[in-house]
Structure formats: C-alpha cells, structure tokens
Amino acid sequence: MTGTLFIVSTPIGNLEDMTFRAIRILQEASVIAAEDTRRTQKLCTYYNIHTPLTSYHDFNKEEKSPILIKRLLEKSNVALVSDAGTPLISDPGYYLTREAIANQIPVVAIPGASAILVALTASGLPPDAFIFQGFLPKKSGARTKLLTQLVEEPRTIILFETPYRIRSTLEIIQEVFLNRKVVIARELTKLNEELLRGTAEEILKTGLPQRIKGEVTLLIEGNRQKKHPRPNESH
C-alpha cells in the first residue's frame, strides 16, 4: 500500500474556477508540489489551505522526484500543481508522473481549468478535432519551420506563445498560412479577457495591442481543403 499522486488542476486566472474536489485534495494531501510556490501560496491562502508546499519545477525535477516518490512509498499523498491550469500540459509534471507509475504508485487526475479548452470553445473555430503543439520554439527559424510543417494540418491548431514573440509569430503565420483564420486568446478568465479573431494580417493591423501581458493561447484554422479521419474511418 502506497500513497497517491494527485494531479490537481487549478485556475488559469480567475480563482473562482476551482472545484470542490480540488480544494479538498489540496487540504488533505501531505504535501503540495508546486511549480511556483509563491503563486500556489496565493491560491492556498484564498481557500484556507494549510498544506505544506515544496517546489517542483523543470530545473529541480530530477533532484526532487526521488524525494517525493519516497514520501509516496511511505503512504503519504502528494498533490502536484502547475503555475495555472492542468498539470503536465507544457510543464515538468510528466517526469514525476512517469516515476510514480514505474513505482506502481496510484496516479489520480483531478480535472479542472485548461487554457487549451477555454480558448478552443470560445474561439469560433471547429472544435470537433484539434492538435495541440505546446509552446512555439524561441528562434524565428525554428518557428517558421514548425508552422510550415502544420500548413496541411486539417484540424484546428492550438499553440502557446509568449507576449514578447506574438507579433513576430503572427508575421510568420501571415506569410505561411496566408488568409487562414487566427484567434489570439489572452488573459483568459480574468477581468481583461480578450479574444482577437481574424487573419494574421487583420489582427496585426487593427487588433493587437502594442504591449500585451500574460501567456497567449494561439489558434489557427485547419486546412479546410483536407479532411481529417472520422472515428469510424480506417487509418
């Protein structure tokens, strides 16, 4: 008998987007492994959660994972959270989850907010099939290469991008995808939530503020000339 590793989704902006179950799990866990303990502490204070926090991020995951696995093997429950949203999606939680499974430790996901689904459902782009590519590469050449590879993709394309690179990325999209529909989702669930819709050229000309804050979720219309396989079609 071991403890359980709980993968706990947290709000992506609005603190009210927390489930009753997630609050209870965080309250009952022996420790919360957080990507940024300062951000998680604000959430814990808001919900009167007094569980000890420990940092777990991309730079210490190899060092911290054995410590957390040991606690789990000693029958302590560990709750893993990311900075915001669903853990493991573009964050280091996969490393710990894989180690837990290798040690036959139960892993339970507590569902909640996800910027991917929030942006998709409000985008106006086809939601029946989509592909998520995570963060775009930092270097312009690598971004161009990846986006070019996605031109024939028939499904809605979802990406993460930083506010510092979004303009240059839109310029690449304008060149590669031409008049394809694009949606820029920013400050999701927050007071200044905004979804900018149009072609990359239209957004660059009229819709994109000179300075934007926070992580950006970027959606690109799939190639409508191509058909993606239906569930009952052979591959």
Phi, psi of 196 (to 5 degrees): -100, 125
Of 105, 117, 100, the closest CA to residue 17 belongs to 117
CA atoms within 13 A on the CB side of 145: 6
Domain limits at 48?
5-110
Decide if 228 is inside a domain.
Answer: no
Pick from 51, 75, 110: which residue ends a domain? 110
Q: What is the largest CA-CA distance in the chain?
A: 60
128 with 210, same domain: the answer is yes
Q: What is the pLDDT of residues 3-55, one digit of tens each?
A: 999 999 999 999 999 999 999 999 999 999 999 999 999 999 999 999 999 99
Does 191 fall in a domain?
yes
Of residues 152, 179, 4, 134, the one with CA closest to residue 78: 4
Q: Look at the block and give the residue holding tokens 């000890």.
A: 52
Same domain assignment for residues 103 and 119: no
Point out the domain boundary residue: 75, 110, 145: 110
Question: Is pLDDT of 235 > 50?
Answer: no
Q: How many domains does the chain have?
A: 2
Residue 228 has what DSSP assignment? P
Inside any domain, residue 174 = yes
Q: What would the mean pLDDT of 206-216 be, rounded to a whole number?
A: 78
- Note whether residue 180 is domain-resident: yes
Q: Whole-structure pTM over 0.75, yes or no?
A: yes
| The predicted structure's pLDDT at residue 230 | 56
Pairing of strands 130-135, 107-110: unpaired
